[in-house]
């Protein structure tokens, strides 16, 4: 007998290969393939398979059926008993045991670290969100929550980091860290990691986090998971469960870093909750020297051109006002422009609006344009073709205004307003203007 | 100048569909394409070659069928294409993949020194954006990620505009360097007929685990610190509220705006975000 592989379910993750003590299973062309001469039916691979693709005995008839299938597909309803919320609450039930011991050789790696992104005088809010999430992880592990600030003249950030929950702060304050550059930042973070050996380090999945963390992970020769949306601690193994969208957002995958430390992840902004800010909270401050000087660095920042709402990149915009063919003519674009102006939003549109010549190609949202994920997406006169929806449906909050109650955009909208955009949009603009100018929320 | 382009063959994730009857992810029949971001890296390398002269070498890692992507890439005007393909490479995560590709680039660099490496900012099937920086780090090249424009290329340095959340950063790096690129960098031209004919006859070089002196412990599943422990369906977007604004447009608009403030979807001062909150 040999372990049977359901090729329709196998995703080629390799968990079985890692688990087999007999080296009897391998990945061949992306599918688990057991070696009948080595397999002793231990079944350890069956237990770790995330998609239940492996089994010890299967009936003859279904075997024939499987062999006619080509490629790999898997049932999205079946594979997971728990929902995403289980991860967030740490209610993980199925545990993946590994023969690999997480901490080898007596090295101690302990503590949850959050790298605080401070650039051009501003802290990226995701840093504080991560202190909130880091608190939960540290509590599950029974370890401490630390913040890391690397930069130049960072003293005003220190009390803020304590206020948002850091128990301890590691600070490197040095002139070569004035502007963000990969080399000195990666070196500064790595030097702290080597010296203090944290178990987990987190950073926002921003352009900076996703630039510096791969460099740090390479220096440390450890694993890194990008753009996580859910984190958790496995109650048995105490491993960090790093969950992220994969395959163009069609599936979610939970990634583990079993044997190397630290466990590293970047986390998508605005996914984790902002923690309470406690003014005046204090903690331990540890300042470290930095060994690099300007002559060691191979890059130079010549200039920084700050973006405003008009020039911001669509995929980085926080509020987007987007138009479709429903606005009927270019002259009506002014309705959207006025709303965008009041909200400090960035203007965008559908392929139809771009092809009509109302907007430029770099303002196009959707499959053949830009994929956006703003806090707020306001869709004006957009019906919601699938090619448009794939480019914006992961926005935090969607407001759609359309006169067709059957428009697909209304199905993904938090607020779907059915009505005449030519009346509703100007009314919204003046209402926003009134409240924002007077600073009155209610 | 010697330009190297890192390129990956990927399934076209925008063509992936969920089967409405069985609720399964359908990967069969999904076309394989050149990772779109890598294609912009290739385009830029070829433009620069046209301008300053030199050579464009493409390096890819993948199964034997990735040869097709390399042949296609050759039709845009590259000079040499190498495919790293071996079962021993299979199952590599981004750390192990960067090890394998950087080992190949080191070998190339010894005989034909590299000036500039291009890679897409990320691959659309993995979205990690980690392999490019991993390669740069192992080669000891400065990395310039998320490039939207090459401002200047001299014999010793390159100056690029990088895209960040708060604006454009203009950075100069000494050569050799590695650049990962955004789609805004350029518009991809069509392949010319002579190049297409040349590409049709071209056979990419196949390098396997025995072609170079690889450390086997740093590749494949065993050389990869990260592993997938499970996969599941993403939570669906729950349906929202449908509001009828046909009878009283102004009143509806006012009440929607009020709700947006109450739920903190829109803040009183939208420009005051982060920092002090």
Q: What pLDDT score does A286 carry?
A: 97
Cβ <8 Å between B167 and A122: no
Q: Is B20 in the A-facing interface, judged by CB distances under 8 Å? A: no
User: Does pLDDT of B194 surpass 50?
Assistant: yes
A18 interfaces chain B, CB cutoff of 8 Å:
yes
Half-sphere exposure of residue A105, counting CA atoms within 13 Å on the CB side? Answer: 5
Report the complex ipTM: 0.90
Does the domain spanning B2-218 belong to CATH 3.40.50.620?
yes
- A79: tokens are 């594979």
Contact between chains at B275 and A123 (C-beta distance less than 8 A): yes
Question: Average pLDDT of B32-45?
Answer: 95
The answer on pLDDT for B172 being more than 70 is yes
Residue A283: what pLDDT?
96
Say yes or no for a CB contact (<8 Å) between B228 and A300.
Answer: no
- Per DSSP bridges, beta strands A118-119 and A122-123 are antiparallel
In chain B, CATH 3.40.50.620 sits at 2-218
How far is residue B9's CA from residue B69's CA, in Å, rounded to a whole number?
Answer: 6
Give the per-residue pLDDT at A337.
95
Contacts of A298 in chain B (CB under 8 A): 142, 173-174, 177
Determine the 3-state secondary structure of B158 from DSSP.
strand
Kindly write down the DSSP assignment for every residue of B207-247, as one continuous string. E-TTTTT--GGGSTTTT-SEEEEEEEPPPPPPP-EEEE-SS
Q: What is the pLDDT of residue A70?
A: 33
Contacts of B167 in chain A (CB under 8 A): 304-307, 311-312
What is the full per-residue pLDDT of chain A (442 aa) written as tens digits? Answer: 788 888 777 877 777 887 788 888 887 767 888 988 888 888 888 877 877 888 886 444 444 433 333 333 334 443 333 434 444 444 433 333 333 334 433 468 999 999 999 988 899 999 999 999 999 999 999 999 999 999 999 999 999 999 999 999 999 999 999 999 999 999 999 999 999 999 999 999 999 999 999 999 999 999 999 999 999 999 888 999 999 988 777 778 899 999 999 999 999 988 898 999 999 999 999 999 999 999 999 999 999 998 877 778 888 899 999 999 999 999 999 999 999 999 999 999 999 999 999 998 889 998 778 889 899 999 999 999 888 988 898 899 999 999 999 999 998 999 999 999 999 999 999 999 988 887 655 5
pLDDT, residue B277, reads 31
Q: Residue A166 in 3-state DSSP?
A: coil
- Could you read off the pLDDT of B199-240 as tens digits, one per residue? 999 999 999 999 999 999 999 888 999 988 877 777 766 678
Q: Do the chains contact at A431 and B253, CB–CB below 8 Å?
A: yes
Say whether A68 sits in a helix, a strand or coil.
coil
The per-residue pLDDT for range B243-276, each reduced to its tens digit, is 999 999 999 999 999 999 998 888 775 444 333 3
Cβ–Cβ of B24/A76 closer than 8 Å?
yes
- Per-range mean pLDDT, top range of A305-309, B8-12, B34-38: B34-38
Q: How close is the nearest chain B Cα to the Cα of A91, in Å?
A: 15
| CB interface of A with B, residues 347-406, below 8 Å | 362, 367, 375-376, 390, 393, 397-399, 401, 403, 405
Q: Please, what are the domains in chain A?
A: 4-69 (3.30.70.20), 112-296 (3.40.50.620), 314-438 (3.40.50.1220)
């Amino acid at each position: 007998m040999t372990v049977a592989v359901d090729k329709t379910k196998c995703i080629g993750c390799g968990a079985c290969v890692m688990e087999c003590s007999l080296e009897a299973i391998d990945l061949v062309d992306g599918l688990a393939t057991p070696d009948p001469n080595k397999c002793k039916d231990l079944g350890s691979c069956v237990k770790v398979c995330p998609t239940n693709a492996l089994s010890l005995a299967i009936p003859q008839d279904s075997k024939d059926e499987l062999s006619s299938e080509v490629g790999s597909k898997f049932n999205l309803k079946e594979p997971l008993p728990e929902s995403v919320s289980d991860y967030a609450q740490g209610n993980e039930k199925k545990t993946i045991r590994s023969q690999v011991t997480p901490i080898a050789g007596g090295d101690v790696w302990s503590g949850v670290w959050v790298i605080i992104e401070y650039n051009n005088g501003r802290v990226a809010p995701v840093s504080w969100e991560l202190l909130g999430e880091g608190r939960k992880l540290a509590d599950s592990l029974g370890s401490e929550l630390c913040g890391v600030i690397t930069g130049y003249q960072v003293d005003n950030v220190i009390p803020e980091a304590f206020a948002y929950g850091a128990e301890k702060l590691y600070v490197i304050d040095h002139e070569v860290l004035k502007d963000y550059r990969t080399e000195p930042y990666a070196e500064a973070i790595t030097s702290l990691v080597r010296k203090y050996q944290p178990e987990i380090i987190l950073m926002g999945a921003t352009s900076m986090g996703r630039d510096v963390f791969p460099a740090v992970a390479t220096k440390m020769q450890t694993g890194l998971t990008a753009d996580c949306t859910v984190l958790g601690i496995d109650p048995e193994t105490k491993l960090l469960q790093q969950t992220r969208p994969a395959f163009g957002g069609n599936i979610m995958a939970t990634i583990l870093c079993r044997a190397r430390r630290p466990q590293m992840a970047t986390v998508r902004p605005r996914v984790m909750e902002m923690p309470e800010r406690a003014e005046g909270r204090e903690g331990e401050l540890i300042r470290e020297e930095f060994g690099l000087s300007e002559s060691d660095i191979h890059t130079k920042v010549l200039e920084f051109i700050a973006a405003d709402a008009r020039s911001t990149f669509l995929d980085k915009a926080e509020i987007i006002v987007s138009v479709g063919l429903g606005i009927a003519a270019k002259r009506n674009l002014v309705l959207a422009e006025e709303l965008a102006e009041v909200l400090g939003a960035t203007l965008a549109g559908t392929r139809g609006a771009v092809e009509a010549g109302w907007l430029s190609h770099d303002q196009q949202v959707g499959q053949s344009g830009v994929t956006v994920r703003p806090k707020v997406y306001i869709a004006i006169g957009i019906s919601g073709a699938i090619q448009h929806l794939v480019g914006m449906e992961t926005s935090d909050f969607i407001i759609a205004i359309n006169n067709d109650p059957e428009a697909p955009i209304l199905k993904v909208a938090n607020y779907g307003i059915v009505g005449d955009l030519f009346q509703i949009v100007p009314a919204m603009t003046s209402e926003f203007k009134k409240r924002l100018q007077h600073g009155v929320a209610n | 100048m010697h330009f190297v382009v890192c390129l990956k063959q990927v399934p076209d994730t925008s063509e992936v569909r969920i089967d409405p009857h069985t609720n399964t992810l359908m990967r069969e029949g999904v076309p394989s394409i050149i990772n779109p971001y890598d294609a912009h890296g290739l385009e830029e390398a070829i433009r620069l070659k046209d301008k300053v002269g030199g050579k464009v070498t493409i390096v890819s890692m993948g199964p034997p069928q990735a040869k097709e992507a390399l042949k296609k890439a050759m039709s845009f005007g590259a000079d040499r294409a190498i495919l790293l393909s071996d079962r021993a490479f299979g199952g590599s995560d981004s750390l192990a993949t960067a090890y394998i590709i950087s080992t190949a680039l080191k070998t190339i660099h010894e005989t034909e020194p590299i000036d500039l490496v291009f890679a897409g900012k990320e691959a659309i099937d993995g979205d990690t954006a980690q392999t490019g920086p991993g390669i740069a780090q192992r080669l000891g090249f400065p990395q310039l990620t998320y490039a939207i424009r090459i401002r200047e290329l001299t014999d010793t340095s390159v100056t690029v505009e990088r895209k960040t959340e708060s604006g454009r950063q203009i950075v100069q790096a000494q050569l050799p360097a590695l650049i990962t690129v955004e789609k805004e960098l350029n518009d991809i031209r069509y392949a010319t007929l002579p190049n297409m004919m040349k590409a049709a006859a071209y056979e990419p070089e196949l390098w396997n685990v025995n072609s170079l002196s690889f450390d086997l412990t740093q590749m494949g599943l065993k050389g990869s610190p990260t592993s997938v422990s499970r996969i599941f369906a993403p939570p669906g977007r729950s349906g929202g509220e449908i509001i009828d604004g046909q009878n009283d447009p102004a009143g509806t608009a006012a009440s929607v705006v009020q709700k947006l403030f109450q739920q903190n979807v829109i803040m009183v001062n939208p420009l005051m975000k982060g920092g002090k909150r």
